């Protein structure tokens, strides 16, 4: 990497390689295409919505890894809880 | 004690599997171990030329499996190391000429006569690879510090785990310390972070490797070669010795030495 690239804040190539690989490996290991992951997300939202009211727009699904083991992590904010709490405080 | 059966594989082609097999075999046999290496790359055999034994081939592994010769007749003894043998691949057949159970049967016959059986796997994750890992007690995965090789190594490690052969131990081959220092090559730590497996060797890029393969004399024979030293260390680790990893920072350039003198690493 040259002086000017560094001067203009261009990332060094080893860092780009590592970051790109991190993403590629997550998808390779998961064995799910982005489209399949979207459909999993929709199914999750539909199932959970049958039981509790959730904020479907803010649902986040991501992968975490610890060594070679992968974990699907979902963050599903509930709608009901905050509203009920608000009602009670009235 | 029965032999340790070790398969060397990689997923991606051209990362140095055959070179690794030849050098580890030479290093083990130089220390007195009885070693047989098997070329599993049927149709694209190369271990014979890397070891400099190409003119001595009469029978090959498919001849043994199909009963045209006895196992001992297909074993070529190395010219320099009397305890090192090669079973060459067939050149005019394809991977389907051999099955995983053929490999298991063949290796069973070798286990009692050797300390190490090294199997050179072909690239890819198909039949030839499956044949090569079937009899393995241990698998070494060779990669280069480069995106496509690391990605393919990860796939292979995943398959090894699924087949209960893994996760395998990693050889990072052809690491260029100067590029790593300039942050233009993944470091060994980067590769280990990404793949999360045990490391068994880091082999620096070294022109002696090409010179050695030109002559059919693997660099593990050359006491001055850094890559040769790295392969000798891998052989020691396979025998259970604890050997520290080479200090690859020692590139020996004028600027590096000056920086070290100035206390900047």
Residue listed under structure tokens 């990669």: B143
- The predicted pLDDT at position A81 comes to 56
The domain total for chain B is 1
The alpha-carbon gap from A67 to the nearest alpha carbon of chain B, in Å, equals 5
Quickly count helices (H) and strands (E) in chain B: 12, 8
Q: How confident is the model at residue A65 (pLDDT cuts 50, 70, 90)?
A: confident
Residue B35 is part of which domain span? 4-261
* Per-residue tokens: A29: 């290991």
Whether A16 contacts chain B with CB within 8 A? no
- CA-nearest residue to A23 within chain B is B194
Q: How far apart are CA B155 and CA A65, in angstroms?
A: 16
* Mean of pLDDT values over B142-156: 97
| Pairwise CB contact (< 8 Å): B196 & A25 | no
ipTM for this model: 0.83
Distances (CA, A) of B165 to A65, B114, B130, B157: 21, 21, 11, 9
What band does B259 get if pLDDT is binned at 50, 70 and 90? Answer: low
pLDDT at position A8 over 70 = no
Phi-psi region of A17 (alpha: psi -120 to 50; beta: other; left: phi over 0): alpha
Q: Is B43 in the A-facing interface, judged by CB distances under 8 Å?
A: no
What's the CATH code of the domain at B157?
3.40.50.300
Mean pLDDT for A10-39 is 86
pLDDT at A89 over 70: no
Question: Which of B147, B158, B197 lies nearest to residue A20, judging by beta carbons?
Answer: B147
Q: Does the beta carbon of B184 lie under 8 angstroms from any beta carbon of chain A?
A: yes
Q: Which residues of A touch B193 (CB under 8 A)?
A: 18
pLDDT in tens, B26-72: 999 999 999 999 999 999 999 999 999 999 999 999 999 999 999 99
Q: How far is it, in rounded angstroms, from Cα B177 to Cα B238?
A: 25
Other Cβ atoms less than 10 A from the Cβ of B243: the count is: 13
- Which residue matches tokens 């057949």? B93
Q: What is the pLDDT of residue B57?
A: 96
Instruction: Say if residue B265's pLDDT is above 60.
Output: no
Closest CB to B183 among A12, A22, A25? A12
Neighbour-count burial of B201, counting CB atoms closer than 10 A to its CB (0-12 exposed, 13-18 middle, 19+ buried): buried
């Amino acid at each position: 990497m040259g002086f000017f690239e560094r001067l203009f804040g261009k990332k060094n190539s080893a860092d780009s390689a590592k970051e790109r690989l991190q993403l590629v490996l997550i998808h390779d290991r998961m064995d799910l295409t982005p489209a399949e992951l979207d459909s999993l997300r929709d199914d999750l939202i539909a199932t959970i919505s049958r039981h509790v009211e959730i904020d479907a727009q803010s649902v986040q699904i991501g992968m975490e890894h610890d060594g070679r083991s992968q974990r699907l992590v979902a963050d599903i904010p509930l709608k009901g809880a905050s509203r009920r709490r608000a009602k009670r405080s009235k | 004690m029965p032999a340790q059966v070790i398969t060397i594989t990689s997923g991606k082609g051209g990362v140095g599997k055959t070179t690794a097999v030849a050098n580890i075999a030479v290093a083990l046999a130089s220390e007195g171990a009885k070693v047989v290496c098997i070329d599993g790359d049927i149709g694209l055999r190369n271990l014979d030329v890397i070891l400099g034994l190409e003119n001595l081939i009469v029978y090959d592994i498919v001849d043994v499996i199909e009963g045209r010769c006895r196992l001992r007749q297909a074993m070529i003894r190395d010219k320099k190391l009397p305890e090192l043998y090669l079973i060459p691949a067939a050149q005019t057949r394809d991977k389907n000429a051999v099955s995983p159970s053929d490999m298991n049967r063949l290796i069973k016959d070798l286990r009692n006569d050797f300390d190490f059986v090294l199997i050179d796997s072909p690239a890819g994750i198909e039949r030839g690879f499956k044949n090569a890992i079937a009899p393995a007690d241990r698998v070494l995965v060779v990669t280069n510090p480069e995106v496509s090789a690391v990605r393919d190594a990860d796939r292979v490690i995943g398959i090894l785990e699924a087949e209960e052969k893994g996760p395998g131990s990693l050889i990072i081959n052809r690491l260029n310390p100067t590029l790593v220092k300039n942050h233009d090559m993944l470091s060994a730590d980067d590769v280990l972070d990404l793949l999360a497996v045990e490391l068994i060797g880091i082999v620096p890029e070294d022109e002696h490797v090409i010179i050695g393969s030109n002559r059919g004399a693997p660099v593990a024979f050359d006491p001055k070669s850094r890559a040769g030293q790295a392969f000798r260390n891998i052989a020691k680790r396979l025998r259970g010795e604890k050997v520290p990893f080479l200090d690859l920072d020692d590139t020996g350039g004028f600027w590096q030495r000056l920086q070290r003198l100035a206390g900047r690493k």
